Chain A
Amino acid sequence: MGSFDMDPIHVERLRQNSPGYGGKLGPLAALALLLACSSLAVACEAGKSEKGAGILKVWCHSGRAEEREVIRRLVQEFNESSADLRVSLTIIPEGSYNGQVQAAALAGDLPDVLELDGPFVAGYAWRGYIAAIGERVGGELREDLLSSIVEQGTWGGELYSLAMFDSGLGLYARRGELEQAGARIPASAGEAWTISEFEALLENLAARDEDGAVLDLKLNYRGEWYTYAFSPAIQSAGGDLIGRGEGGKARGVLDGPQSVRVLRRFQSWFEKGRVDPNLDDRAFVAGRATLSWAGHWEYARYKQASGEDLVVLPLPDFGDGSRTGQGSWVWSVTTSCERPAEAMRFLRFLAEPGSILSMCAANGAVPATHTALRRSELYRDDGPLRLFSAQLTGGWSVPRPETPAYPVISSVFEEAFQRIRDGADVTRTLCEAAAVIDREVRDNRGYPER
């Protein structure tokens, strides 16, 4: 799910990610400055000199500082252990990552190995940026990968990506407050609160609360969050964003009765003032909100604030069983890679339990293989976040639509959700959103195979 530490200002990241402008490019860069306008062109040119025998160009997104440190260390370990292959790593800011990849693809300048956000797999595969790797992955590793990872990485029946981790989504709460309100505490996704139970609890909690805003939906986030976090609610009622499978349409699905009913509920929570706007991202830790609809990345911070009192719960069941989100950043081999076998060697190294566990220790995500999962203190069968791993392995999670239209679906759904939050008519808003998505599919002639 990428990381949601969404500071709108990427200054630090930008600074961290201008490899080569300083050191070896010093004199070049000075010259480039003199030539004022052409400076950008010169800096881009210089990156190319690294192409040589035995070098694998790898791009990854710049997550949190800890994640960057781990990926740098892993690359270094890989380079030390392999005599004939050297990985050259470029870290690119998350905000502009997709744009950079598109630009590189247009310029025919893609690296050999690419990290990408899971829901983009279909789009990148359709555009021919990334290659199918199913055969190279092999049965053993494939068996070991969580089914959610395989599902997310598959498009048109072919596996295109591997991952080091998956994401977890649920409700965080404090046991003490729930017990005071007399609420049942579900231990697994199968025992999730029904929606009427959940809404009764909201009112109950609100009656004890100062301002009645007891639910935190992370409204301070922007972008991908809305589709990731709230489409499971729609799916839990039997609706969806778009019809799955060949020729699926959004009309009749995204604006279908199930989806409309779910978003009406959300709207009623907004209207009643049950949702904390959470501008400071501290609604839960400051104690303003009792329930926080959030991802695995909040566990460490919430644990620190609430200690043993913290409980992790499944999302409510809107009628068809609780559902949750899945998917995060994944790794692919590009179509311009001339040594796919060697690229695969690097991906295998990343998927080793040791690599996975050190990455998951840095970002708190769910390990992507069963082997690593069993060894993870957070996610193994008796770990505090076992709910998240059980949701992923037990079939409670739904991948975001695997279609090249995904970026449009996501952006349109976010806009629709915001409008519904601001009081717009739910049916009309979803109808309009569905029409835009269907137009996108039509404009692309249904994404014909190339």
Chain B
Amino acid sequence: MRIVPRRHSYEGLAGGLLAAPAAACLIFFIALPFLAALFLSFTNYRLGSPLPLEFAGLRQYARIFGDPGFIRALLNNALFALLVVPVQTALALALAVLVNRRLRGIAVFRTIFFAPVVFPLSLVAVVFTLIFAPGAQGTFNGLLELLTLGAWEPVDFLHHPWLALPAIMVTSIWQGVGFQMVVLLAGLQDIPRQLYDAAIVDGAGPWQCFRHVTLPLLRGPLIFVMIVTTILSFRVFDQVRIMTGGGPHHASTTVLFESVQAAFDRGWVARGAAMAVIFFVMVLAVTLIQRRLARQERT
């Protein structure tokens, strides 16, 4: 009995020590910069300005909410998450089910589907810029022309008011789906074989197996995948910067893109900080809602 509390406090100390580097990183690189951003968003701070720093109240917030580009960025982010999260999750699940078989050379397929995750996003964006090239020489235009037997009129995807954002979505899904596939695949392989055998003995078909065995047992990984995809889809930036520059006419801009453009291209650090604060609140809210929903379902 005497040993227990001692070991306990020793473990507490060790735990604290082991957690310290990570906690320090979180404090120095996440918490403090965020507090700094919160502070800066209420000032008129501009990069390198020799004029004295002034308290600007809510002026930055008033300005960005009066900026049609930023409003569009908020809408685009919401639309992006609304479309990409379900599509990418469903696609990842389909791929995971496909590659979760005992086939000769299945590892090759798994590798192929996973490979895009390894490529840097900037590289993928450059390649997709070429794939979405306008005119008949563009790969995607060419493919659509072939599939529609020549009925497709080639368009300039990345400069099209309605197609620029979907083009970025396609790029993102192609690049990211492999990661979710692997997570779901791990989940699938955790499902005991006997459950399927039992279901089949009970007369279940493939769809019923999937619906009543696979899906319920994959809940944890699915919720994880959806939360991660949501956060990642709010962070979309590289593709926008490289493929469209937010255009045409803000059609494919995102909050992060607007924030980086303000702070680093134009030196408006305070404005960029205000956007970052709004962005943070937005992601926090979505994550909390998702967690709440996930928990409710479990009970």
- Decide yes or no whether A176 CB sits under 8 A from chain B: no
B213 to chain A minimum Cβ distance, whole angstroms, is: 43
Question: Would you call A444 and B25 a contact (CB within 8 A)?
Answer: no
- Decide yes or no whether B47 CB sits under 8 A from chain A: yes
Question: Would you call A9 and B29 a contact (CB within 8 A)?
Answer: no
Which listed residue, A126, A411, A419, touches B266 by the CB 8 Å rule?
Answer: A411
| A292–B129 alpha-carbon span in the complex (Å) | 22
Q: Which residues of A contact B190 (CB under 8 A)?
A: none
Stretch in contact with the other chain, from B130-138, B173-181, B199-207, B223-231: B130-138
The A418-437 residues at the B interface (CB cut-off 8 A) are: 418-419, 421-424
Question: Would you call A277 and B134 a contact (CB within 8 A)?
Answer: yes
Question: Would you call A424 and B249 a contact (CB within 8 A)?
Answer: yes
A129 and chain B: residue at smallest CB distance: B48
A443 in contact with B248 given A126-B50, A280-B130 (CB within 8 Å): no
A131 to chain B minimum Cβ distance, whole angstroms, is: 14
A443 in contact with B267 given A9-B126, A279-B130 (CB within 8 Å): no
Which listed residue, B21, B123, B126, B266, touches A36 by the CB 8 Å rule?
Answer: B21
Stretch in contact with the other chain, from A98-106, A234-242, A315-323: A98-106
Q: Which residues of A contact B242 (CB under 8 A)?
A: 8
Bitwise interface map of B from 77 to 95 toward A, beta carbon under 8 Å scored 1, else 0: 0000000000000000000
A222 in contact with B50 given A37-B24, A279-B130 (CB within 8 Å): no
Question: Would you call A407 and B247 a contact (CB within 8 A)?
Answer: no
Question: Would you call A445 and B247 a contact (CB within 8 A)?
Answer: no
Q: Which residues of A contact B28 (CB under 8 A)?
A: 37
A450 in contact with B21 given A408-B266, A419-B248, A443-B44 (CB within 8 Å): no
Q: Which residues of B contact A126 (CB under 8 A)?
A: 50
Q: Which residues of B contact A422 (CB under 8 A)?
A: 159, 161, 247-249
Which listed residue, B47, B120, B161, B247, touches A418 by the CB 8 Å rule?
Answer: B247
Question: Would you call B29 and A37 a contact (CB within 8 A)?
Answer: yes
Question: Would you call B247 and A105 a contact (CB within 8 A)?
Answer: no
Question: Would you call A37 and B21 a contact (CB within 8 A)?
Answer: yes
| A8–B242 alpha-carbon span in the complex (Å) | 7
A128 in contact with B123 given A37-B24, A279-B129 (CB within 8 Å): no
Q: Which residues of A contact B248 (CB under 8 A)?
A: 418-419, 421-424
The A370-401 residues at the B interface (CB cut-off 8 A) are: none
Q: Which residues of B contact A445 (CB under 8 A)?
A: 51
A279 and chain B: residue at smallest CB distance: B133
A121 to chain B minimum Cβ distance, whole angstroms, is: 14
- Decide yes or no whether B264 CB sits under 8 A from chain A: yes
| A448–B50 alpha-carbon span in the complex (Å) | 10
| A102–B50 alpha-carbon span in the complex (Å) | 12
- Decide yes or no whether A211 CB sits under 8 A from chain B: yes
In this complex, the interface size class of chain A, counting residues with CB under 8 Å from chain B, is: 35 or more
Q: Which residues of A contact B267 (CB under 8 A)?
A: 407-408
The B14-59 residues at the A interface (CB cut-off 8 A) are: 21, 24-25, 28-29, 44, 46-51
B128 to chain A minimum Cβ distance, whole angstroms, is: 11
| A108–B5 alpha-carbon span in the complex (Å) | 52
A226 to chain B minimum Cβ distance, whole angstroms, is: 11
| A35–B21 alpha-carbon span in the complex (Å) | 8
Question: Would you call B29 and A102 a contact (CB within 8 A)?
Answer: no
Q: Which residues of B contact A105 (CB under 8 A)?
A: 48
B41 to chain A minimum Cβ distance, whole angstroms, is: 15
Which listed residue, A9, A277, A423, touches B122 by the CB 8 Å rule?
Answer: A9
Q: Which residues of A contact B159 (CB under 8 A)?
A: 421-422
Which listed residue, B44, B48, B135, touches A127 by the CB 8 Å rule?
Answer: B48
| A419–B246 alpha-carbon span in the complex (Å) | 10
| A412–B25 alpha-carbon span in the complex (Å) | 36
Question: Would you call B49 and A277 a contact (CB within 8 A)?
Answer: no
| A411–B263 alpha-carbon span in the complex (Å) | 12
Which listed residue, B25, B47, B126, touches A8 by the CB 8 Å rule?
Answer: B126
Q: Which residues of B contact A277 (CB under 8 A)?
A: 133-135, 156
A280 and chain B: residue at smallest CB distance: B130
Question: Would you call B249 and A419 a contact (CB within 8 A)?
Answer: yes
The A1-60 residues at the B interface (CB cut-off 8 A) are: 8-9, 36-37
- Interface core residue of B47, B133, B261 (most chain A CB under 10 Å): B47
| A374–B228 alpha-carbon span in the complex (Å) | 63
Q: Which residues of B contact A411 (CB under 8 A)?
A: 261, 265-266
Q: Which residues of A contact B29 (CB under 8 A)?
A: 37
- Decide yes or no whether B245 CB sits under 8 A from chain A: yes
Q: Show 10 A/B contacts (Cβ-Cβ < 8 Å), sorted by A.
A: A8-B122, A8-B125, A9-B126, A37-B24, A211-B135, A279-B133, A422-B247, A422-B249, A445-B51, A450-B50
Query: Besides A37-B21, A129-B48, 19 other CB < 8 A contacts?
Result: A9-B120, A128-B50, A222-B245, A277-B134, A277-B135, A279-B130, A407-B265, A407-B267, A411-B266, A412-B266, A415-B245, A415-B246, A418-B248, A421-B159, A422-B248, A424-B248, A440-B266, A443-B44, A450-B50
